[in-house]
């Protein structure tokens, strides 16, 4: 197989790949990094819709908490200020004296998740997962869902960087033929960040194709910047659909 030009196929051109061999993905040891101090945003400072601030219970943060989540339309909007674009861990401070409850969080109509609030007669917090925040104000909407709980705050902290992936030129099948070993292609069937073709060339990592999710994965400018997308699609290592017209439907 000639190595004069290795090409990276987009998802639309995947049908042209008739043989590909999988490669192991090994993780590098993560490097220690300095963690950002958590940032706290009080519920009572947000926009209250059908709910109200209170201070009768003890153990809350700030000047009080928000309660009265008893009607379907009740909600609370907390303004979360992120110091920079990126992925953040998020927690909600709450109490739920009446048993386990569920609340619904949504972010600027871009991301949503149902969060379990374990039964607690005192104020505690629940982990709400990782959220992509933009620099400056982000509106986090807390909708009633099950209701009958008290909201204290939202806390964020910059998420740790994920370990880098390193592709090793070793096939899964130890009995692969010499022809297959020479081919050695790998496919990225579903991905968020698009691989950098310069790094693929440098590391001799010969991807056959990739298929990136749409929506925020392309449009938010965080996971894939506009400059990066242009760089990938115009790179000589990348073959796009307009270059393989026979595959167009």
Same domain, 180 and 144: no
The verdict on residue 1 lying in a domain is: no
Residues spanned by the domain of 48? 39-158
Rounded to an integer, what distance in angstroms lies between the CA atom of residue 88 and that of residue 130? Answer: 5
Same domain, 50 and 131: yes
Q: Which residue has the higher pLDDT, 110 or 51?
A: 51
Same domain, 91 and 143: yes
Tens digit of each residue's pLDDT (9 = 90 or more) over 113-157: 899 999 999 999 999 999 989 999 999 999 999 999 999 999 999
Mean pLDDT in residue range 223-249: 79
Q: What pLDDT sits at residue 30?
A: 42
Decide if pLDDT at 61 tops 90: yes
Residue 227 three-state SS: helix
- pTM beyond cutoff 0.75: no
Same domain, 136 and 183: no
Same domain, 96 and 205: no
Tens digit of each residue's pLDDT (9 = 90 or more) over 158-215: 998 776 656 566 777 788 787 776 666 667 778 888 888 888 777 777 777 888 888 7
Same domain, 217 and 120: no
Beta bridge partners of 151: 66, 94
Same domain, 60 and 149: yes
Q: Which residue has the higher pLDDT, 125 or 4?
A: 125
The verdict on residue 33 lying in a domain is: no
Average pLDDT over the chain reads 80
Same domain, 101 and 150: yes
User: What is the distance, to the nearest Å, from the Cα of residue 20 to the centroid of all Cα atoms in its chain?
Assistant: 28
**CATH number assigned to the domain comprising residue 90:** 2.60.120.260
Same domain, 235 and 181: yes
> What is the percent of the chain with per-residue pLDDT over 90, rounded to a whole number?
44
> 120, 82, 87: which is closest to 101 by C-alpha?
120
Decide if pLDDT at 95 tops 90: yes
Count the domains in the chain. 2
Q: What pLDDT sits at residue 63?
A: 97
Same domain, 170 and 154: no
Same domain, 171 and 154: no
Of 158, 179, 213, the residue that ends a domain is: 158
Q: Which residues contact 33 (CB under 8 A, 6 or more apart)?
A: 160, 161
Bridging pattern class, strands 86-96 and 150-158: antiparallel
Q: What pLDDT sits at residue 247?
A: 61
């Amino acid at each position: 197989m000639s190595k004069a030009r290795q090409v990276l196929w987009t998802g639309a051109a995947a049908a042209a790949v008739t043989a590909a061999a999988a490669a192991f993905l090994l993780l590098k040891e993560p490097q220690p990094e300095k963690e950002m101090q958590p940032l706290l945003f009080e519920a009572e400072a947000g926009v209250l819709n059908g709910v109200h601030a209170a201070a009768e219970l003890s153990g809350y943060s700030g000047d009080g908490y928000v309660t009265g989540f008893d009607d379907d339309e009740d909600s609370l909007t907390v303004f979360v200020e992120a110091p920079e674009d990126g992925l953040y861990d998020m927690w909600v401070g709450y109490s739920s004296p009446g048993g386990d409850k569920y609340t619904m969080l949504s972010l600027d109509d871009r991301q949503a998740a149902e969060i379990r609030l374990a039964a607690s007669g005192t104020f505690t917090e629940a982990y709400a997962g990782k959220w992509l925040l933009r620099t400056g104000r982000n509106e986090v909407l807390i909708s009633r869902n099950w209701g009958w709980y008290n909201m204290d705050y939202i806390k964020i902290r910059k998420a740790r960087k994920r370990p880098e992936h390193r592709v090793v030129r070793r096939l899964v099948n130890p009995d692969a033929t010499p022809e297959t070993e020479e081919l050695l292609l790998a496919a990225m069937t579903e991905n968020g960040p698009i691989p950098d073709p310069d790094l693929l060339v440098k590391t001799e990592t010969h991807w056959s194709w990739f298929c990136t999710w749409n929506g925020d994965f392309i449009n938010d400018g965080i996971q894939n910047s506009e400059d990066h997308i242009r760089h990938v699609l115009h790179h000589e290592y990348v073959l796009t659909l307009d270059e393989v017209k026979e595959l167009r439907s």
